[in-house]
Amino acid sequence: MYIPKKPILLLLSTAFFLAAHAQTFMTREGHAHFFSSTSIENIEADNQQLSGLLDASTGDFAFQVQMRSFHFEKALMEEHFNESYVESEKYPKASFQGSIESWESVKPNGESFDVVAIGDFDIHGIAKTYRIEGRMKYDNSIWHLNADFEVTLADHNIQIPPVVRDNISPVIAIDVDAQMMPR
Amino acid sequence: MSEIQRICCFLVFVGLTSVVSAQSLLDDLNAAFEDPSLPVTATFKDTRIVNVQSNETPAEGVLHFVIAHRFGTLSSGAYDLWGLDNAQMRMAFDYGVTEGFALGVARNTYQKTYEANVKVKLLRQISGPEAFPLSLTWYSVAMANGTRAPSEDTPYPFSRRLSYVHQAVLARKMNEKWSLAVVPSFVHRNFVSESGDAHDLYLLGVGGRYKLRPRLSVNAEYHHFLTQSFGDAFSPSLSLGVDIETGGHVFQLHVTNARGMFERSFLAEPAGSWANGDVYFGFNLSRVFTIQS
């Protein structure tokens, strides 16, 4: 029986391409870090339990962190963060949901692409539209991504009392990175 | 299958898939990961409600330093500036050896009393899928009266100076504003001045806090004698307070009918009557130092 080779190759390569682009990728141990810098003190916290989903057919994504999973150098900072600033009991999670701009131009070819993620960033119960620049790379069946951005506390009604105004920056620098595996 | 049936099937199928995709990725994410079970924190702002211990201990590697003041009775009038002229002090150091295990020492002006104490979190309240409704914290303190013997020929051996209190603090953070505690106490005094006084006393205390704002709460506590009535000379210990939190400090302001700030005194010897205004104004300032992070 005659089997046409070219169409099969085309089909296979398309299938590979689709595998990278046509499935959902997931992480549960992404990393989020934030940094507040003032002349008096620097405050930072790490969260190793960033969870996320990426729909590689559309470039849609959703990321989420538990506020209680941010860990600080000092126990009292962590308590104040949860009790007084982000009010973790009322607003236990922060999330970012949206899509990657011009997703079709982000190729799963091992190269790193500068991307722009547009979506709703929700923290302390207040969602705002954010445009976040980051980098993405598809390598060995894994989407690698990282980004950094800034959050103005007042935008999300996170209030800093006057007595610690010199210790906490009104704008917090955030950086995230994650490796997303096929789901 | 007729043409119409096929179209209907197709439409149902399309309808179903669009329902599935209408669910957002965030909902999908929430469905994929169960919320974690977490220990409930900050049931109370400080290691004490007003006088009595709360369920809290200093965090691991943290030194909790408290300077407490208790002034004279408000009923003492303008001459003593309503008690402010007669301040008693308590200086305390509590150290979090591990998470939920603390050791402390303190010195009180009142009866020159020294304290050594241990506090252990036995059970923790947990929220989430594997929730647990309350926390249980154990507190034991030994107190030694440091005053001189009344006269040179009166024997006053060390054992007579000692008293002990053991407490179980059952606490529950009801919600972000309300926290409640039930505190059964056992007091043992090696030496009692009146022959009829009991060496052992049992009390049942209740306490709570209500958070008015993120950094401001009102607290109250009451201790009921279970085993002995003292007649008119003693009123059960009743205290009201306000906690104000700033960066690394907690300020506690309170009024109480207990003169002393250590357990034996405020549990077994509260003499002031609220009705007569024999209550004391108090002021604590606590500060934490991270020794080991």
Nearest Cα to B233, choosing from B243, B225, B245?
B225
Here the tokens at position A133 are 């620049």
Cα gap B115→B181, rounded to integer Å: 23
Cα gap B173→A164, rounded to integer Å: 27
Percent of chain A whose predicted confidence (pLDDT) is above 90 = 75
pLDDT digits (tens, 9 = 90+) for A61-99: 999 999 999 999 988 899 999 988 999 989 999 999 999
DSSP H or E stretch at residue B3: helix B3-22
CB–CB of B115/B264 below 8 Å?
Answer: no
The secondary structure of B203-256 as a DSSP string is EEEEEEEEEEETTEEEEEEEEEESS---GGG----EEEEEEEE-SSEEEEEEEE
Cα gap B216→A46, rounded to integer Å: 28
Residues 6+ apart with CB under 8 A from B125: B39, B40, B43, B132, B133, B134, B135, B171, B172, B173
Interface contact flag, A53 B214, Cβ < 8 Å: no
CB–CB of A158/A128 below 8 Å?
Answer: no
- Comparing alpha-carbon positions, the chain A residue that sits nearest to B212 is A84
DSSP H or E stretch at residue B68: strand B62-73
Of A11 and B85, the structure prediction assigns the larger pLDDT to B85
The secondary structure of A123-160 as a DSSP string is ETTEEEEEEEEEEEEEETTEEEEEEEEEEEGGGGT---
Q: How would residue A29 be classed by pLDDT, with cut points 50, 70 and 90?
A: very high
Interface contact flag, B26 A87, Cβ < 8 Å: no
Whether B293 contacts chain A with CB within 8 A? yes
Kindly tell me the sign of the dihedral angle through the C-alpha atoms of B215, A50, A98, B24: negative
Whether A55 contacts chain B with CB within 8 A? yes
Q: What angle do CA A84, B96, B99 make, to 5 degrees?
A: 70
Interface contact flag, A75 B36, Cβ < 8 Å: no
- Comparing alpha-carbon positions, the chain B residue that sits nearest to A61 is B25
Whether B250 contacts chain A with CB within 8 A? no
CB–CB of B101/B124 below 8 Å?
Answer: no
Name the CATH architecture for the domain at A5-182: Beta Barrel (2.40)
CB–CB of A147/A176 below 8 Å?
Answer: yes
CA distances from B54 to A66, A160, A169, B62, B205 (A): 27, 27, 33, 17, 11
Q: Is the ipTM of this complex over 0.90?
A: no
CB–CB of B67/B249 below 8 Å?
Answer: no
Kindly tell me the sign of the dihedral angle through the C-alpha atoms of B52, B106, B45, B99: negative
Give the per-residue pLDDT at B22.
47
Give the per-residue pLDDT at A17.
52
pLDDT digits (tens, 9 = 90+) for B160-181: 999 999 999 999 999 989 999 9
CB–CB of B144/B161 below 8 Å?
Answer: yes
Rounded to two decimals, what is the model's pTM? 0.83
Looking up tokens 């919600």 gives B175
Amino acid at B291: I
Cα gap A141→A159, rounded to integer Å: 42
Per DSSP, B175 falls in state S
Whether B246 contacts chain A with CB within 8 A? yes
Whether B22 contacts chain A with CB within 8 A? no
Best mutation site among A23, A68, A124 for testing chain B: the one with the most B CBs within 10 Å?
A68
- Comparing alpha-carbon positions, the chain A residue that sits nearest to B26 is A62
- Comparing alpha-carbon positions, the chain B residue that sits nearest to A60 is B25
| Structural domain boundaries in chain A | 5-182
Cα gap A129→A152, rounded to integer Å: 13
3-state secondary structure of B186: strand
**Closest to A64 (Cβ–Cβ): which among B29, B42, B60?**
B29
N-term to C-term CA, chain A: 38
pLDDT digits (tens, 9 = 90+) for B33-84: 888 899 999 999 999 999 999 999 999 999 999 999 999 888 778 888 887 8
Query: Which residues, given as ranges, of chain B have pLDDT below 50?
Result: 17-22
Interface contact flag, A73 B290, Cβ < 8 Å: yes
Nearest Cα to B96, choosing from A100, A74, A155, A32?
A74
Interface contact flag, A62 B29, Cβ < 8 Å: yes
